[in-house]
Copies of this chain bind each other. A is one copy, B any other.
Amino acid sequence: MLGPRLKELRGKRSQEEIAEKIGISRARLSHYENERSQPDHELLTKLADFYEVGIDYLLGRTDKKEPTESKIIKHKDDDKEIEEMLNDPELKMWHKELKGTPEEIREEALNFLRYLKDQERGRKPGDKQK
């Protein structure tokens, strides 16, 4: 998925032009565009910076270019889960309770919940007593 995106973003400019601006050889850029190899994280970031898109877009995880608005490509299940959340009054209560609560405490509470569930299950997978 990265390949086509890179090609699309380059438009009609030459590989050489982009490669030079980014500081890599043109063969290397060609490899990326043809998916013969994968850029490491540093270069991935550089490419995203250069083309001004989100990495999620580069990797085809979203169709939105903006980094801050990338959305995961999931299917119908997604809507279902969201609807479920919106229709759950108790979750709203949790949300109110959690909002503005220190990370430390949220984590501890989550841990406790998981502990309770493990107990319930009768099994003892993660006996994380605190």
Also in contact, A40 and B41, with CB within 8 A (given A61-B55, A69-B66): no
Q: Which residues of B contact A70 (CB under 8 A)?
A: 54-56, 66, 71, 78-79, 82
B85 & A90 in contact (Cβ 8 Å cutoff): no
Q: Which residues of B contact A88 (CB under 8 A)?
A: 95
B107 & A109 in contact (Cβ 8 Å cutoff): no
A59 & B69 in contact (Cβ 8 Å cutoff): no
A68 & B66 in contact (Cβ 8 Å cutoff): yes
B106 & A109 in contact (Cβ 8 Å cutoff): no
Q: Report which residue of A40, A69, A70, A82 has the largest number of chain B beta carbons within 10 angstroms of its beta carbon.
A: A70
Q: Which residue of B lies closest to A107 (CB)?
A: B11
Q: Which residues of B contact A107 (CB under 8 A)?
A: 11-12
Nearest chain B CB to A30 CB, angstrom units: 17
Pick from B59, B78, B90, B120: contact of A98, CB under 8 Å: B90
Q: Which residues of B contact A98 (CB under 8 A)?
A: 90-91, 94, 113
User: Other CB < 8 Å A-B pairs besides A91-B95, A112-B112, 13 of them?
Assistant: A14-B126, A41-B59, A48-B56, A48-B61, A54-B70, A55-B55, A55-B59, A66-B69, A70-B78, A70-B79, A85-B86, A90-B98, A94-B110
